Amino acid sequence: MKAASGLAHGRSPEAALAARAVDMAMRRAGITHAESVLLYLTADFAHDPQPALAAAARTAGCLQVSGCAAPGVFTDEDWVIDAPAAAALVLAEGVSLHPAHTGEHTRLTLAAPNALDLRWLESGSPRFGGVSGDATGQGPFAVWMGGRLQAGGHCELDLHGAALRIGVSRGVRALSEPAKVCRRGNDILSVGTLPALTSLNRELPLSLRAAEQLPVPLLMAGLPFGEPQNAIAEGRFHLLPLVGINAHDKSVTIAGEVAADATLFWAMRLPQAAENDMQSTLVRLAKEHEKQASPAFGLMFPCMGRGPWLYGGEDRDIAVLKRRFPGMPFIGFYGNGEIAHFDGCNRLLQYSVVLALGYADV
């Protein structure tokens, strides 16, 4: 089993960038043709990615070129969000990605934001992957499989010849325990026995409790799902951003409506909390498979709310992964939704990192 990555960027979205990225990966893998290529292109290519796909297929000597266009792409070498770029992962000698058909295999799933159908996403086999939109969920994003654009805007792939181990880093700090809510539409009126704003304020440092100091863009409402016990520790929750606070009735407005009998906890997005959680995720994955050799490659799907946007111009999630598995090739893109299988169901996550590690299938 061989896998290697390549990254190329330039001043314009030329097909040659895709060819360069694939050629670099093949040279690193020591192969003359690949069995499959995972190719991510920046949004600069989204209007017409077909020439880049053809160039990647010619360079790799195979037609199994799959991937998507996204706001930013990366490999274990570097990340690019401000220039046209192509990131490639080549697979060969017994490991490959192919269009999914029947069976209960865990499927790599890529979707453009305008093609995201939650009924489709939540059904079928276990899934992992990402949504290739920008922060607004808009943009001219595209998805391809087998070297061709997918009219439906999504693709499903099975991995052959390797075993996947998947982990999820939610990357937030829980500020409170879940409690029953009273709500009116998107307004949370109370949490437990306290007005919503009071229950939130009591969990914040004194310096952040004044209305003008409240860090609303970093605050979240967490909604656990599945078995309540250990839901937060196991990452089994949805996150809804805060939209605003209402001092007159001490309610909090969130970006979504919750069920009448829902429980809710307050959470906060913090760089150190996200980095610590990524480290913990890798520790759990390594402990589960400590008797196996190191993974041969990685597939990483971080939210745009992570990466350089959260970490002030660097990507500490990538740095943590490189420290834990030095020399391992990996590839990813920044999107606006992460896909993982939790509690018997496929879920669309937010502000998270989904990581799949590929091991020799023994």
DSSP one-letter string for 228-272: STTTTTTT-EEEEEEEEEETTTTEEEESS---TT-EEEEEEE-HH
The confidence band for 214, taking pLDDT boundaries of 50, 70 and 90, is confident
50-60: average pLDDT: 98
State the DSSP string of 43-108. GGGTT--HHHHHHHHHHHT-S-EEEEEESEEEESS-EESSS-EEEEEEEESS-EEEE--SSS--EE
Residue 51 has pLDDT above 60, yes or no: yes
Distance CA 138, CA 262 (A): 30
Residue 14 has pLDDT above 90, yes or no: yes
Q: Which residue has the higher pLDDT, 49 or 216?
A: 49
Residue 138 has pLDDT above 70, yes or no: no
Q: Quick check: helix, strand or coil at residue 356? A: strand
The reported pTM is 0.91
131-156: average pLDDT: 84
C-beta of residue 335 within 8 angstroms of C-beta of residue 305: no
pLDDT value of residue 261: 86
Q: Per residue in 291-345, pLDDT tens?
A: 667 899 999 999 998 999 999 999 999 999 999 999 999 999 999 899 999 878 8
Q: Per residue in 233-280, pLDDT tens?
A: 888 999 999 999 998 999 999 998 898 889 999 999 999 999 999 999
Distance CA 9, CA 84 (A): 6
Instruction: Output the six-digit token pair for 198.
Output: 């009071």
**High-pLDDT (> 70) share of the chain, %:** 95
The confidence band for 209, taking pLDDT boundaries of 50, 70 and 90, is confident
Residue 224 has, within 13 A of its CA and on its CB side, a CA count of 21
Distance CA 76, CA 172 (A): 24
State the DSSP string of 137-172. S-S---EEETTEE-TTSEEEEEEESEEEEEEEE--E
Spell out the domain ranges in the chain.
Answer: 2-170+274-360, 174-268
Q: Per residue in 225-246, pLDDT tens?
A: 888 888 998 889 999 999 999 9
pLDDT value of residue 147: 94
pLDDT value of residue 233: 87
Distance CA 52, CA 151 (A): 17
Residue from 96, 17, 29 nearest 56 by CA: 17
Q: How many CB atoms lie within 10 A of CB 247?
A: 8
Distance CA 285, CA 268 (A): 24
Phi and psi (nearest 5°) for 60? Answer: -80, -20
How long, in residues, is the chain? Answer: 362
Residue 129 has pLDDT above 60, yes or no: yes
pLDDT value of residue 242: 93
pLDDT value of residue 136: 63
State the DSSP string of 270-281. -HHHHHHHHHHH
C-beta of residue 163 within 8 angstroms of C-beta of residue 114: no
Residue from 267, 303, 274 nearest 135 by CA: 303
Q: Per residue in 158-197, pLDDT tens?
A: 999 999 999 999 989 999 999 999 999 999 999 999 999 9
C-beta of residue 62 within 8 angstroms of C-beta of residue 34: yes
Average pLDDT of the chain to the nearest whole number: 91
- Residue 190 carries which DSSP code? E
Distance CA 353, CA 172 (A): 11
C-beta of residue 3 within 8 angstroms of C-beta of residue 91: yes
pLDDT value of residue 346: 92
Instruction: Output the six-digit token pair for 244.
Output: 């605003």
Distance CA 262, CA 42 (A): 39
pLDDT value of residue 221: 95
